Amino acid sequence: MRPFRRRGRVPPRQPHPDARIEAELQRVISLRRAVARKETLLDKDHRDIGVMRRKLRHDGASGSAPMWAAHAEELQSEAAGLEAEIAKLHDEIAERISRLDDSDLAWLEGSPA
């Protein structure tokens, strides 16, 4: 078994010399973080929906089945809303990135070499 090794700390991203472009890059970074948060929530909803469906199959004839079905339907509605929000965020990210030069985009991951 290989020993556990920590990844080295990633150095902080260097700001772009042009403040206007840096503001756009910060907005893209912020949108990416928002997408990541929403995708985490969406993943949890999908797992919870799976749990609800298994409970429905297992307890289908019991009196709690309508409760599980209603909860699963509520989660599906929430998941659909999250998917729509994520799609809008991806569209906004793509729009903002399309306005930037390739050399400016290199600053998203760190200062260009």
CB 49 within 8 A of CB 72: yes
User: Which pLDDT score is estimated for 2?
Assistant: 59
**pLDDT per residue rounded down to tens, the chain (113 residues):** 556 666 666 677 888 889 999 999 999 999 999 999 999 999 999 999 998 888 888 776 677 778 778 888 999 999 999 999 999 999 999 999 999 999 998 888 776 65
Question: What does the alpha-carbon distance between residue 1 and residue 93 come to, in Å, rounded to a whole number?
Answer: 41
Four-point Cα dihedral 77, 83, 84, 87, nearest 10: 180
